[in-house]
Amino acid sequence: GHDCYPVLFVYDGAKGSVTFGGKLDVPKQTSQRGISARERFQNLDRRATSSETTEQGLESLHKNSISQISMLEGGKSKCSKFCTTGMDGGMVIWDVKVHTHTHTHTQAAKCDKLLQLCLV
């Protein structure tokens, strides 16, 4: 939350462990983020100038700490959609898809992740 993006932790019931799964808000390398009217107004108010040419800052969707996470679909055990609300006033809805891997017995012995969570 304080890093301005949600992160995924994966619980392995067989091992009784929690592992870091990664950042959920990964910025696109090729796209440049535009500045919203609200951000422009805030920058004008802070700097008392309109000569801003580029926005230096976070590349995440939220520009301040995430203050709330709400489940929208699926409940605690099978959450498929959730919403994050930030101190910046932004709200983001995230879709989560769960993929189940099917394996033969020899493949299952090599696979340590039976579920993979993917954001769409």
Question: For 24, which DSSP code?
Answer: S
Q: Where are the domains of the chain?
A: 7-119
Residue 39 CB-density burial (10 A; 0-12 exposed, 13-18 middle, 19+ buried): middle
Beta bridge partners of 84: 69, 92
Separation CA 2–CA 41 (nearest Å): 24
Separation CA 38–CA 64 (nearest Å): 14
Cα dihedral 57/83/1/79 (nearest 10): -130
Which pLDDT belongs to residue 107?
A: 42
Alpha carbon distance, N-terminus to C-terminus of the chain: 20
Mean pLDDT by 10 residues, the chain (120 residues): 76 88 67 58 59 58 87 84 89 75 44 40
Run of H or E including 69: strand 66-73
- The pair of three-digit structure tokens given for residue 99, joined into one six-digit string: 């993929």
